[in-house]
Amino acid sequence: MIISSDNVALQLGKLEQRLLLSNSHSELENILSQLHRLGPGKHYSNINSKWQIEKSYAFILDGMGNKKTQDMLFLLLVKAQHCTQIKVSYCLCFLNSRVLSVNYGVTAGLT
């Protein structure tokens, strides 16, 4: 089965939109997996120009070899930052615990 470039572009657009709207760790991970299958080697951390992290964090993320891991950690950091700005504490705690578990294998006891 041949997938036209229009269909791929449409699928990428829909997945990127879902990425923007989601705060669920598992959903973010699922969406990123799908995006990286459709567009391997591409970074998806730049789909929202308002997403920014400190340069020191960006430097650390850039040093990681796996683009999917880089994107996942970046997304968790910016989503947690957004939750802080709008003061959604449960969302913030959950996303921060996921950053720790992805980075260090640490679990904070949140489900």
pTM value > 0.75: no
Summarize pLDDT for 46-87 with one digit per residue, the tens: 888 888 888 888 888 888 878 888 899 899 888 888 777 766
Please tell me whether residue 51 adopts helix, strand or coil conformation.
coil
Instruction: Tell me the mean pLDDT in the region 1-20.
Output: 80
3-state secondary structure 17-60: HHHHHCCCHHHHHHHHHHHHHHCCCCCCCCCCCCCCCCHHHHHH
